[in-house]
Chains A and B, each alone.
Chain A
Amino acid sequence: MSADTKEKTVNGSGTERHLNMIEAINEALDIKLREDPDVIVMGEDVGYFGGVFRATAGLQEKHGKTRVFDTPISECGIIGVAVGMGAYGLRPVPEIQFADYIYPGLDQLISEAARLRYRSAGDYISPMTVRSPFGGGIFGGQTHSQSPEAIFTHVSGLKTVIPSTPYDAKGLLISCIEDNDPVIFFEPKRIYNGPFSGYYDKPVEPWKRFDESIVPEGHYKIPLGKARHVTQGEELTVLTYGTMVHVAEAVCREKGVEADILDLRTLVPLDIEAIEESVKKTGKCLIVHEATRTSGFGAELSALVTERCFYHLEAPVERVTGFDTPYPHSLEWAYFPGPVRIGEAIDKMMAG
């Protein structure tokens, strides 16, 4: 469905409520804070100020300082105390201000939160949801742009979830908070305010022009481990997530390719059924992510598709990714896997 059609649909009824991604996330947190007295929200600048991206705006005023509070600048401490709170019986939702800052908390995530259920044989669990803005396209340089999802998908015991629309962001975040396993919830900050076609020189189109920003009030869930069909097509499967869902969709539309685009939404657990079904139908698989290429999540997807769909493939599996460099500042758009890189990969596959 093109953006134009969506606009018509929306204008046609005129009664739907549109939220951007920040507002949808804020509403999910608000609902869980209201419904469950064990939910707490914490992080750097999240309390009084409401978060540097405003995702927690108004929540402290509404739910009080013992439920929504600021923390010291210590990611190790934030995740570490969240493990202890989870062991007590709370359901902490810590925010790491940028995914690039999560590394001091890695030991607490990888060695502690991810393995607590296992090493205690279910005696203790770590039901935390770590929210963190990730990805580039905002001139954030090498410390505000990274996509470190593959570090987490490599860890046994962690779930990794990445929404690409306001509707999904709310429903997935509620599922994550209610989940009894530790979840990394990466929010693609480039698309907080509107989807991104990959043309950085064009103005941002706000979410309210798109159907995916129609967000029902109240509680709803999107199950973890279920991919979303962005478009249906017979010519090519595109496996992607986060910001790149929108870039890939725009490029396929431009090229007139009938693509089966799957927004994976959850990397672990992965919707392998949807992937297999799609690739067996199209015979061609393109993987698109913004993260660096080597040992990226695309490598895992490529291996799975090759192992499970090899005899249905009509062309080699292709990966379009960021380059294996730190995220550059001035050369951001040369790094970003934009329309040219995706377009050339599609041309190559369609020619084969």
Chain B
Amino acid sequence: MIEMINQIYSNKGDKLKGRQLPIMYSSREHSFFSISGNLATQTPQAVGWAMASAIKRDSRIAATWVGEGSTAEGDFHSACTFATVYNAPVILNVINNQWAISSFSGFAGAERTTFAARALGYGLAGLRVDGNDPLAVYAAERWAANRARANAGPTLIEHFTYRAEGHSTSDDPSGYRSAQEREEWPLGDPVMRLKNHLIEIGEWDEDRQEALDKECVDHVKAVTKEAEKNGILGHGLHHPFKTMFEDVFEELPWHLKEQSEQAIHERETKFPEGRPNS
């Protein structure tokens, strides 16, 4: 958790050295591939990872997620084509939350067909699930994962859901859709639905839910405070200047060495007395 929050703050504790926008995580340790920020590029990459796994006779599979809006990218078409041609052990998830910033899903072709139906044209298995039903999502993913592991082929899963909030913290949906729409969304909040279901079948109760909510909130608050000791974006505590030039290549070529020296020189000019903690 603290590593995730350090990344959000791009602070000196950030394992990604403050190079990526918030939540664009990467963790090889957890088999979590680096999030790009460019759209749908991850889809052929996931297929390639899955092909590599098959080439090495590995039993591991790949799963990737893409918004319904960016299925319009050519990369998604490439991913579906390569997945079917090589029978790659991959799950291609399409999160159809019906909004790509201000563009409704019709701009990705949703008025005439479903995203699951596209699977048919490629010869992929296609599923469409209620994306706000955690148990349905779990069942669909498990089916697709077992299918991939058995070398029975790739699966495209459309998760039909709704983006209640804005696209990002700088997005105000009232500029392009009715405020009522969110209230009228019929399929409900997935966490509430799971809670109600568990209470219904006698596995859970309101008191335990309340305690869990509080525990989670307290935990996030405490870890956030801890992470803030490593700094927050724009307030000094970042990785040292020279790290800007690392990892462009495995080794630093002469032109980056020169530029690195220049950056350090500029810093010394700007702060002749040095600047603590930065």
Chain A residues in contact with chain B, CB under 8 A? 40, 66-67, 71-72, 74, 76-77, 80-85, 87-90, 92, 104, 107-108, 111-112, 116-125, 156-157, 159, 179-181, 225, 268-270, 272
**Is residue B92 within 8 Å, beta carbon to beta carbon, of the partner chain?**
no
Q: Is the CB of B44 within 8 A of A77?
A: yes
Give the residues in chain A near B27, CB-CB below 8 Å.
123
**Is residue B53 within 8 Å, beta carbon to beta carbon, of the partner chain?**
yes
Q: Is the CB of B249 within 8 A of A157?
A: yes
Q: How far is the CA of A92 from the CA of B82 in the complex (A)?
A: 16
Q: How far is the CA of A23 from the CA of B209 in the complex (A)?
A: 69
Q: How far is the CA of A72 from the CA of B78 in the complex (A)?
A: 9
**Is residue B114 within 8 Å, beta carbon to beta carbon, of the partner chain?**
no
Q: How far is the CA of A77 from the CA of B74 in the complex (A)?
A: 9
**Is residue B51 within 8 Å, beta carbon to beta carbon, of the partner chain?**
yes
Q: How many residues of B contact A (CB 8 A)?
A: 44
Given contacts A74-B78, A76-B74, contact A84 B50 (CB under 8 A): yes
Q: How far is the CA of A213 from the CA of B20 in the complex (A)?
A: 47
Q: How far is the CA of A268 from the CA of B15 in the complex (A)?
A: 28
Q: Is the CB of A268 within 8 A of B253?
A: yes
Q: Is the CB of B52 within 8 A of A121?
A: no
Residue in A40, A66, A74, A225 whose Cβ sees the most chain B Cβ within 10 Å = A74
Q: Closest chain B residue to A40 by CB distance?
A: B55
**Is residue B79 within 8 Å, beta carbon to beta carbon, of the partner chain?**
yes
**Is residue B254 within 8 Å, beta carbon to beta carbon, of the partner chain?**
yes
The interface-forming segment of B30-38, B131-139, B170-178, B180-188 is: B30-38
**Is residue B108 within 8 Å, beta carbon to beta carbon, of the partner chain?**
no
Residue in B38, B52, B53, B62 whose Cβ sees the most chain A Cβ within 10 Å = B52
Q: How far is the CA of A156 from the CA of B245 in the complex (A)?
A: 10
Give the residues in chain B near A180, CB-CB below 8 Å.
250
**Is residue B247 within 8 Å, beta carbon to beta carbon, of the partner chain?**
yes
B50 CB to closest chain A CB (Å) equals: 7
1/0 per position for B37-53, CB-CB distance to A under 8 A? 01001011111111111
Give the residues in chain B near A118, CB-CB below 8 Å.
19, 247-248
**Is residue B112 within 8 Å, beta carbon to beta carbon, of the partner chain?**
no
Given contacts A84-B44, A159-B249, contact A124 B50 (CB under 8 A): no
Q: Which of B33, B75, B79 contacts A87 (CB 8 A)?
A: B33
Q: Which of A72, A87, A269 contacts B253 (CB 8 A)?
A: A269
Give the residues in chain A near B74, CB-CB below 8 Å.
76, 104
**Is residue B85 within 8 Å, beta carbon to beta carbon, of the partner chain?**
yes
**Is residue B16 within 8 Å, beta carbon to beta carbon, of the partner chain?**
yes
**Is residue B28 within 8 Å, beta carbon to beta carbon, of the partner chain?**
yes
1/0 per position for B75-91, CB-CB distance to A under 8 A? 10111011001000000
Give the residues in chain B near A225, CB-CB below 8 Å.
253
Known pairs A88-B53, A119-B19, A121-B15; list 9 more (Cβ under 8 Å). A81-B82, A84-B48, A85-B48, A87-B49, A107-B38, A112-B41, A121-B247, A123-B26, A159-B249
A91 CB to closest chain B CB (Å) equals: 10
Q: Is the CB of B249 within 8 A of A77?
A: no
8 interchain pairs, CB-CB under 8 A: A72-B78, A74-B82, A77-B79, A80-B79, A85-B51, A92-B48, A111-B41, A112-B41
Give the residues in chain B near A117, CB-CB below 8 Å.
247-250
Q: Is the CB of A119 within 8 A of B26?
A: yes
**Is residue B255 within 8 Å, beta carbon to beta carbon, of the partner chain?**
yes
